[in-house]
Amino acid sequence: MRVLVIEDEPDLAASLGRSLRDEGYAVDTAFDGEDGLFRAESIDYDAILLDVMLPKLNGWQVLERLRRSKKTPVLMLTARDTSGDRVRGLDGGADDYLVKPFDLAELLARLRALIRRTSGCASSLIEAGTVCIDTVARTVTQAGQPVALTPREYCLLEFLALHRGEVVTRTTLYEHLFDEDDSTLSNLLDVHVSNLRRKLGSDVITTRRGHGYCVEG
Ligand code: CA
């Protein structure tokens, strides 16, 4: 999952980036509204964390302009806590709203829920054959036995499973799993796929030659 953080406070932006990467997210950061909007329009992020008080364009303006072309889920971050602001955010097309200072665990939980809802998954459990993914605990079992995955392996499996039954192209996977700071070698994706196959069995992820990868529905 790839997330865009639009936040002008460098310390907060950096700590959010670290925490999200620890969870296996790919993270891009923008420090003002104009740059944030540009990135949000250029790339299909899985979610955007959007601060309200920003230089150049504020969070409301970014949201309003973004919604003209994209439905990317947006979690607004704001210092204010008035119901008027909340209504304005949700009316303006924000998908969720968190007041600063927020609890990091809560932010991560809301983000997971947001991404899950957007992909049309009502339940926090995804089952694909004998593999079961708990998207809240971020754990995977196969035939009831826990399987230890790295955060990146988990994210790759979760992304494919959220789109199960569909062929997901390598381009899409690169766009959603790696951020612009990742020095990716072209075969890195294959390494993660082959690690997942080693841990879960070769039939969990199917290769569609020339198209991409698929977790069967
Ligand atoms: Ca700010």
Give 4-49 pLDDT, tens digit per residue. 999 999 999 999 999 999 888 999 999 999 999 999 999 999 999 9
CATH 3.40.50.970 is right for the domain spanning 125-214: no
* Residue 205: both structure tokens together: 């992820």
Question: Residue with structure tokens 């079961």?
Answer: 132
Question: Tens of pLDDT along 168-181?
Answer: 999 899 888 888 77
Quote the ligand 1 centre to 67 CA distance (angstroms).
21
Quote the ligand 1 centre to 9 CA distance (angstroms).
6
Quote the ligand 1 centre to 48 CA distance (angstroms).
15
Structure confidence at residue 100 (pLDDT): 87
Quote the ligand 1 centre to 16 CA distance (angstroms).
13
Residue ranges of the domains in the chain? 2-118, 125-214
Average pLDDT value for residue range 115-133: 85
| 79, pLDDT greater than 60 | yes
Quote the ligand 1 centre to 51 CA distance (angstroms).
6
Among 59-68, 95-104, 192-201, which stretch is predicted with the lowest mean pLDDT?
Answer: 95-104
| CATH number, span 2-118 | 3.40.50.2300
Question: Tens of pLDDT along 62-75?
Answer: 999 999 999 999 99
Residues within 5 Å of ion ligand 1, judged at the Cβ atom:
8, 51, 53
Question: What region, left, alpha or beta, does residue 165 occupy, with left being phi > 0 and alpha being psi -120 to 50 degrees?
Answer: left
In whole angstroms, give the CA distance from residue 117 to residue 155: 16
Quote the ligand 1 centre to 192 CA distance (angstroms).
36
pLDDT band at 187 (very low <50, low <70, confident <90, very high): low
- 125-214: same fold as 2-118? no
How does strand 145-147 pair with strand 139-142? antiparallel
Quote the ligand 1 centre to 65 CA distance (angstroms).
18
